[in-house]
Amino acid sequence: MSRLGKRVRLGKYAIPVLLLATLAIGTVAAVAYVVLTWTVSLTVAANPRVHFWDGAAQNTMDLEMNIFPSIRTIDENNDDWDIKSVLAGDISIRVDTMDISDVEELRIKAYIGGTTLFDETWNAADAAGTFRGPFTTDDDTTYDLWIEVLANSTATDPASIKVELKVESP
């Protein structure tokens, strides 16, 4: 009789343990199912909401200027390039590449009327890959660009500068 009593006790605990194990396995399976079937939809936009503008939206701006040794060359109100904001947002400006053998300094200014969005200067030594910003643009606004290059005394003509616009909050 004592053996039968022990078996009954084991059976009494087996049901709750079996239910707990089934519940745990079911929970893990449900979580795995949700994780494995989660779908993410992405929208690819051709250009960020703030971009360079030359009649069409551009993510980068290539600029070529004729420079002269020890002379500061200014390209103001360039008809070819502007910064255009579709929606308000924060941006940073980065000089991607610059011929540091010819350029002493690069200054970029974006403005509209008397309001300046940003006015930053890069020295040749710290130009490549250096970010400046963030700057906040207004909705549906086109900013004029002022680009100024100071050539060093050993500069050769022409120098090519590439300026890249990086969007901080697209």
pLDDT over 70 at 78, yes or no: no
Nearest residue to 145 via CA among 168, 112, 104: 112
- Residue 112 three-state SS: strand
Pair 141, 75 in one domain: yes
Same domain, 62 and 36: no
Q: What are phi and psi of 56, to 5 degrees?
A: -145, 155
Segment 83-108, tens digit of pLDDT: 888 888 888 887 765 656 788 888 88
What is the residue-averaged pLDDT of the chain? 76
Q: What's the structural domain count of the chain?
A: 2
At 111-149, the pLDDT tens digits run: 998 889 889 888 876 666 667 778 888 888 889 888 888
Distance of CA 15 to the CA centre of its chain: 57
Give the containing element (helix H, strand E) for 28.
helix 2-37
Do 119 and 136 lie in one domain? The reply is yes
Specify the pTM.
0.66
